[in-house]
Structure 1
Amino acid sequence: MADLWVFGYGSLMWRPGFVYTDASRARLNGFHRSLCVLSHVHRGTVDHPGLVLGLDRGGSCVGLAFRVAGDERETVLAYLRERELVTHVYKETVRNIQLANGEAVQAVAFVVDRMHHQYAGRLPVPQAAQMIVGAQGMSGPNSDYVINTVEHLKGLGIRDRSLESLARLLEAAPGSP
């Protein structure tokens, strides 16, 4: 069975949760990293939703691509589906990505479903910050998620100025971590 490539753009980059044989910086064109998903479980509740990342249409996104050995393909896909398709706000797709060495490969990527009720769209930074402050779900405070995401991206040498701007607002908020 052929190897599988998986594209990660958020927590999947530093907490993949599956066995892989190789990881490479990669670019996905046609989508960008965005806090565009209302979180009702992990970083918020239905009454006080938080915001989590999704791959939304337009632009490009630098992330990590993971190569999975062919004999692990079905196990990893099952794990990813359980992790990413909890409320079906993401759609499993196969997209062309470009690895750091210039090689083009097809990878599984989970993109946001703009028709889903949890799709928040592009929010102004102050409005996003207001939603995030105080939101908390079973995986912890929403502000921790955003701040940790920015720190991990920086550690991988990936800049996301929009997220960095939001993280600065959150760090300055009263009661911030």
Structure 2
Amino acid sequence: MTVDMNEFWVFGYGSLMWNPGFEFEERQPAHLFGFRRALCVRSWVHRGTEEKPGLVLGLDRGGSCRGVAFRIAPQNYEAVVDYLRERELVTHVYKERTLSATLSDGRRITTLVYICDRAHQQFAGSLTVEEAARTVSASIGKSGHNMDYVRNTLIHLREMGIRDHWLEDVGRAAEGLYSAPPA
């Protein structure tokens, strides 16, 4: 990967928006074209198990995606990339890419992104709201309940003024099916 060390950016569209897990110098709303946010990855680790997978977001081809870009200090480049590879490439359902995005102030940047691998066995493809809601309401992984992931994502999308009607429908339907684990 060739990177301008003075302008290294990471694009977040799901949990990276609200839980980046790394230090950054600047955080800006950003728009990525050619890929869309989709609840299309079966989670075997963070929000489910191989026996009972959850669902997490991926960048799938087509459309565009509004999210967040984080500018990383040059001295943190290696640590951030190592951290992201450990976090995002656990089962290799994501592919690491550098793509162009536009910041809210109009600047065009090159950013590190993780897109879903449609050929991977964890790729869920297009699900109905009901199928996704059943999975989200019942799955738990090492990072917690799948319902919490969807809730947090929707909260942060709303805070940024981003509407994702399909994900909102999944969230509402999953809430109706969800029964919180005993305390």
SS, match of residue 90 in structure 2: coil
- The alpha carbon displacement at 1:133 in A equals 2.1
SS at match of 1:61: strand
> In the alignment, what sits opposite 1:81?
85
Q: Could you list the per-position Cα deviations for residues 97-156 of structure 1 after superposition, in whole angstroms to 9, with x for gaps in the alignment?
A: 000011111000000011111001111111111222211111111122112211121122
**Matching residue within 1, 17, 24 for 1:20:** 24
Superimposed CA distance per residue, residues 49-68 of structure 1 (whole angstroms, 9 cap, x where no aligned partner): 11011000010000000111
Q: Which amino acid aligns with 1:108?
A: L
1:96 CA displacement: 0.4
List alignment gaps of at least 5 residues for structure 1.
Answer: none
What aligned pairs does 1:22-171 form with structure 2 within 5 A after superposition? 22-171=26-175
| Deviates most, 102-111 or 140-149 | 140-149
Amino acid at match of 1:116: H
- The alpha-carbon deviation at position 171 of structure 1 amounts to 1.6
Partner Cα separation in structure 1 for residue 107 and residue 127 of structure 2: 34
Aligned residues: 177
Displacement of 1:174: 5.0
Q: Deviations over 1:1-24 (max 9, x none)?
A: 433111000110111111111111
- Is the Cα contact below 8 Å between 1:3 and 1:73 reproduced in 2? no
Q: For residues 55 and 173 of structure 1, what CA distance do their matches in structure 2 show?
A: 26
SS in 2 for 1:133: helix
| TM-score normalised to structure 1 length | 0.95
The more displaced of 84-93 and 136-145 is 136-145
Residue identity in the other structure for 1:111 = I
CA RMSD of aligned residues (A): 1.3
Runs of 4+ in 1 over 6 A off after TM superposition: none
Structure 2: gaps spanning 5 or more residues:
none
Distance 2:52 2:125 in 1: 17
Identity over aligned pairs, percent: 53
Secondary structure (helix, strand or coil) at the match of 2:138 reads coil
Compared CA separation, residues 174 and 38, structure 1 to 2 (3 A)? closer
- Taking structure 2 as the reference length, what is the TM-score of the superposition? 0.92
- Structure 1 segment 2-21 matched on structure 2, within 5 A: 2-21=6-25
Write the distance in 1 (CA, Å) between the matches of 2:175 and 2:157. Answer: 17
